[in-house]
Amino acid sequence: MRRCPLCDAALKSGPKKESLAEVLYRLNCPHCGTYRLDGRARELVAELGGKRAYLVNFVRGIGANGGLSTFRGELVTYLVGAYLCAEQACVQRGLMAAHIEHCGAGFDSRNPVFRVEDKGQVFSLRVHAPDAALDEIRAQLLWVKGLRDQAGLLVLQPLLNREGQPFELAGKGQPRPCVFYDWIEGETVKEAQVRGLSEQLIEKLGEFIAAMHRHSRAFTPPSWFVRPRYDREFIEQNLRLGQTQADDGDAAETVRAVMEIVDDLDAAPDTFGMVHSEPANANLLIQAGRIGAIDFQVCGWGYYSVNIVRALRGLFPKADELMDGSESRLFLKGYQRVQALPADLHRHAEVFLRAWPLARHIF
């Protein structure tokens, strides 16, 4: 195995057998990048033919975001199944000449996103997991549609099929919901940060998050609306789990301080609503000076103050002083141009940042 199983290029290094509980080989390809795979995955890849290009894009997408792809047999089977669903969904939409490739960072392998091009038209297509709840998908699409139609924000627009439905059901056995969106041209904030962001753009990022929060405050969900709740119970459960795994002797005090703030937020009005739960620099776009957002897969009910802190950490992960750094001050200035900051935000943020090692996916 001196050539890459995915693209057949000569390997820069490897395969190197890693000493793990299972047999995994690490490969470094000049075209795909570095990835790992087990023996069963190698066998399956050899049978894929032209569909290997999908896995090449998957590896490169993860590598571009600092990740390392690990292909086990079951993951290859799942991903190829998702690709076949994407092909079927395109046929059901009448896109008979569609070119399909993986797009995005690829970390959400259970709900992969594809770029679809057909006769000059470009779409985004998410293939959801077979067990995805249809009402949760409908709720996500309803909220995103409101952000675009009512708040005037630049977000992906769900595209209905000829029957007026927001998704196709594709695949053998248990079908997977497949949702088509329009394609937003632009670059991610993460890409733009390589050159540096202007003060005006940073302020616009704050305005954008504030506009989502403002829309959320006016949003009245229908009775069937179901989305995840990142509420007191969720936060405490995850903090307690982090506390059991922490070496920090102050973890118990940190958890207590966070829960005290959460109790105060629950007792106050307008502190909790629908939020983009991953407002990171890879999920926010810049299009001709305008800010937009993608990937609402895990949007749900959350605390606005937590969401602001999460946005600052996701946008400026290298900032030495997250709340008082120059970028954060510009962001918060932009936020306040749209609406007031949550009460006691700086005090709350200080505690949330202490809690970050215990529950990184929350704060």
Q: Which helix (H) or strand (E) holds 189?
A: helix 189-192
Return the minimum-mean-pLDDT range out of 48-52, 183-187, 254-258, 324-328. Answer: 48-52
CA 242 vs CA 42, 265, 360, 361: distances in Å = 36, 22, 9, 11
Examine the domain organization and report whether 17 and 83 are in the same domain. no
Domain ranges, residue 233: 187-358
CATH for 263: 3.90.1200.10
Examine the domain organization and report whether 153 and 195 are in the same domain. no
**pLDDT tens figures, 116-154:** 999 999 999 999 999 999 999 999 999 999 999 999 999
Domain boundary among 147, 168, 184: 184
Asked if residue 225 lies in contact with residue 329, where contact means CB atoms within 8 angstroms, the answer is no
What average pLDDT does this structure show over 270-286?
95
Examine the domain organization and report whether 266 and 334 are in the same domain. yes
In-domain check, residue 363: no
| Among candidate residues 291, 288, 285, 289, the one with its CA nearest the CA of residue 335 | 291
pTM over 0.85: yes
Examine the domain organization and report whether 52 and 83 are in the same domain. no
Q: Residue 322 has what pLDDT? A: 78
For the sheet containing 154-155, what is the strand order?
154-155, 290-293, 284-287, 187-188
**pLDDT tens figures, 94-123:** 999 999 988 865 567 899 999 999 999 999
Q: Enter the DSSP assignment of 10.
A: B
Calculated CA dihedral for residues 314, 319, 320, 324, nearest 10 degrees: -90
Q: How confident is the model at residue 1 (pLDDT cuts 50, 70, 90)?
A: low
Token digits for 158? 């769900």
Cβ-based burial of 306 (10 A; exposed 0-12, middle 13-18, buried ≥19): buried
Examine the domain organization and report whether 59 and 31 are in the same domain. yes
**How far apart are the C-alpha atoms of 339 and 283, rounded to whole Å?**
22
In-domain check, residue 47: yes
Cis check for the bond before 15: say yes or no (omega within 30 of 0). Answer: yes
Q: Enter the DSSP assignment of 106.
A: -
Examine the domain organization and report whether 178 and 326 are in the same domain. no
Q: Residue 109 has what pLDDT? A: 84
Percent of the chain exceeding pLDDT 70 equals: 96
**How far apart are the C-alpha atoms of 204 and 198, rounded to whole Å?**
10
Q: Residue 192 has what pLDDT? A: 95
Return the minimum-mean-pLDDT range out of 19-28, 36-45, 238-247, 309-318. Answer: 19-28
